[in-house]
Amino acid sequence: MNKFTLGLTAVVSMMSSGVFAASCPSYLNVEMRKLHSKDSINLCELTQGKPVLIVNTASNCGYTSQFKALEALHKQYKDKGLVVIGFPSDDFFQEENDEKDTAKVCYINYGVTFTMLATSGVRGDDANSVFQYLADKSASPKWNFYKYLVSADGTQVQQFNSKVEPESPQLIQAIESVL
């Protein structure tokens, strides 16, 4: 490549990343560590212009079996643009003390392939930035496996309580309406 082409490529790359950063909702403008990993993920890059299903999870809850249906949703809708993100939390005292045990529940017991992040707070002053935003837009989760469906531009948030199963017609209809 000649110097002009290299320079033009660099300028275009910088401009597109600047536009991308400007279009990213502020609550997603964060790096978060993946579950039981040293690797982090940029939530803006992961969700860029896509609707997101955000779920606060726990390994030892009566609703833990919802992981299986959440994984099915992920597989069914990922190619249509839906991003599913799990946020393990011990805010309701039902999460493993060691992340390796949480990872075992998610990855081995339930075969989760959607993005799972490191354990963090989802309520009150200790809530991570994503759940602070969700609390402002709708409400804090009242229990584990609350589901938040966020529009691609981040402005619309629909909340579904723990009893709403991932495969429920109510949630499926909401997902299909934002795709």
- Please name which of 53, 120, 130, 112 lies closest in space to residue 89, comparing C-alpha atoms: 120
What does the block give as tokens for 85? 């993100």
Render each residue's pLDDT in the chain as its tens digit; 179 residues.
544 434 434 434 434 444 444 578 888 999 999 999 999 999 999 999 999 999 999 999 999 999 999 999 999 999 999 999 999 999 999 999 999 999 999 999 999 999 999 999 999 999 999 999 999 999 999 999 999 999 998 889 999 999 999 999 999 999 999 99
B/e letters for 65-77, b = 16+ CB within 10 Å, e = fewer, are ebbeebbebbeeb
Per-residue pLDDT at 22: 54
Please indicate whether residue 44 is annotated as part of the active site: no
- What's the whole-model pTM score? 0.87
CATH no. of 25-178 = 3.40.30.10
Active-site annotation holder among 24, 44, 61, 106 = 61
**Amino acid 154: pLDDT:** 87
Closest to 88 (Cα-Cα) out of 97, 79, 80: 97
Q: String of b and e for 27-53 (b: at least 16 CB within 10 Å)? A: bbeeebeebbeeeebebbeebeebbbb
Look at residues 65, 95, 85, 89 and name the one whose alpha carbon lies nearest to residue 167: 65
Rounded CA-CA distance 54/106 in Å is 15
